[in-house]
Amino acid sequence: MTEPTGRTGRLYGVGVGPGDPELVTVKAARLIGAADVVAYHSARHGRSIARSIAAPHLGDGQTEEPMVYPVTTEATGHPGGYRGALDEFYADCAARLAEHLDAGRDVAVLSEGDPLFYGSYMHLHKRLAPHYPTEVVPGVTSLSAAAAAAGRPLVEGEETLTVLPGTLPGDELTERLRGADAAAVLKLGRTFTKVRQAFEDAGRLGDAHYVERAASDRQRVTPLAEVDPAEVPYMSLALLTSPADRSFEAPSPARPDGPGGVTVVGLGPAGRPWLTPEAQDVLASATDLVGYGPYLDRVPANARQRRHASGNRVEADRARHALLLARDGARVAVVSSGDPGVFAMAAAVLEAASEDEFADVPVRVAPGLTAAQAVASRVGAPLGHDFCVMSLSDLLKPWDVVARRLSAAAEADLVLALYNPSSSRRRHQLPAARDLLLEHRSPETPVVVGRDVGGDAESVTVTTLGKLDPDQVDMRCLVIVGSSTTRVTDRGLVYTPRRYRS
């Protein structure tokens, strides 16, 4: 941006893009609507492509300054020829705009595409920017719009792009096209026949595309070799796209034959911030998502994916369904809360995958942050030394096994992370577990109760084993019971030292 020189009017060179008013940037639209004066180039017929693009963004009461190009016939008697006539034209336009700027009016000069990419604005910029505060607002170029219209990458990796005006001599065009990785030739119109011949002489005609009026309602894309020279407007260009694109044979987007695969993926304890990059990649690349309904609801909907929700107590059926989908070619993500290998779906899927009919279906596990880790992090480091992870649910194992393991872990002085501590139909487990632990632990042993950590209803309570109230614990909670060395600081943080002291 040029520094002001005491005058209050500001000059804006505003790129309005290649033709579609929706490709005007937010900043360009704002400045167009706010300018005191809107200037634009036009032909003798009075129509201006730049103004038509900007029309939806014009404001009320603005002064318009059409800058009408001289026609070729008017320049025949000029001492400097057409170039001299253009220089005089730009000098006159600059003087007109300077009057507005001197009067303190902001002037927006509209430019198709980008103001400094083969744009007429630059001729005004050279004359006015040294004397007035000036800002150039970039716009989408015709080159970018043409590549998008053709659906072809221009350059990849270490390739280079050559941009050429069609007004160059034919032999120079040929030479530059012959050595180019990728190229764009602008300003076709009456130069088209020469440009097409240059592509042919360079041996590149078969790889070239023709794009006409990109990003407009009259857009046309076709092989360059098939274009009728009599139908080529000035607003067109020729593209030689990336060699990598030309040599790449795209695979069929159809689902491949043979087995797909199953990935059992951990969603972590709550929302996206707890999701690992690997898990995000698995979810994004899956064709099918399988899981317990509330866990599937945590994955944003994607119209190209199929979702297969089921209840909480049909793990074996859910695992088998996922494997059947994968055997038919699907890329299946089986979702679990927390980590799929901790009281979750990984074991169920692997058990089902051991059957002979799924021998050829690949299965892998993408880990997730566990509820125990999430709860522990909220209070400090209660899992800082040896710890044991247990489920108090006796749905899949008898209570006497749970009780025996609790007693052994307590006697071994391990910190315990207790999953599934209680539910509406299982209320006896946690009181029984507390009583068993009190046979080996002091009533003052620190206890952490975390509910919905990472979610909207998160709560974390630090209490003691003697004061633990089972009525305040439900299925959405995880309970951490400290060891004999676990400590609570004056600030309420909980930690278990790594150096063991009995």
| Tokens 């300003």 sit on residue | 187
Structure confidence at residue 5 (pLDDT): 46
Residue partners of 131: CB distance under 8 A and separation at least 6:
5, 7, 98
Range from 189-198, 389-398, 492-501 that averages highest in pLDDT: 189-198
Q: How far apart are CA 13 and CA 234, in angstroms?
A: 22
Structure confidence at residue 259 (pLDDT): 63
Position with higher pLDDT, 446 vs 428 = 446
pLDDT band at 1; cut points 50, 70, 90: very low
Nearest to 240, CA basis, from 220, 211, 218, 216: 211
**Residues 363-401: pLDDT tens digits?**
999 999 999 999 999 999 999 999 999 998 887 888 999
Q: Which amino acid is at 27?
A: K
pLDDT at 56 over 90: yes
Q: Phi/psi class of residue 221: alpha, beta or left (left: φ > 0; alpha: ψ in -120 to 50)?
A: beta
Strand pairing of 161-165 and 363-366? unpaired
Structure confidence at residue 310 (pLDDT): 86
pLDDT band at 301; cut points 50, 70, 90: confident
Structure confidence at residue 416 (pLDDT): 95
Q: Give me the chain's average pLDDT, please.
A: 89
pLDDT at 476 over 90: no
Average pLDDT estimate for 189-201: 94
Structural contact between residues 430 and 470, judged by C-beta atoms closer than 8 angstroms: yes
Structure confidence at residue 86 (pLDDT): 87
Q: In terms of C-beta distances under 8 Å and separation of at least 24 residues, what long-range contacts does 426-434 make, across chains too?
A: 426/392, 426/393, 426/394, 427/470, 429/392, 429/393, 429/394, 429/399, 429/402, 430/392, 430/468, 430/470, 430/473, 430/479, 431/470, 432/399, 432/403, 433/392, 433/402, 433/403, 433/406, 434/465, 434/468, 434/470
CA triple 227-229-231, angle to 5 deg: 85
How is residue 338 annotated by DSSP? B
Residue partners of 144: CB distance under 8 A and separation at least 6:
18
Position with higher pLDDT, 318 vs 80 = 318
Structure confidence at residue 2 (pLDDT): 47
CB atoms within 10 A of CB 489: 10
**Residues 112-141: pLDDT tens digits?**
999 999 989 999 999 999 999 999 999 999
Structural contact between residues 377 and 494, judged by C-beta atoms closer than 8 angstroms: no
DSSP string, 140-189: --HHHHHHHHHT--S--TT--EEEEETTS-HHHHHHHHHT-SEEEEE--G
Average pLDDT estimate for 222-241: 90
Rg (CA), the chain: 36
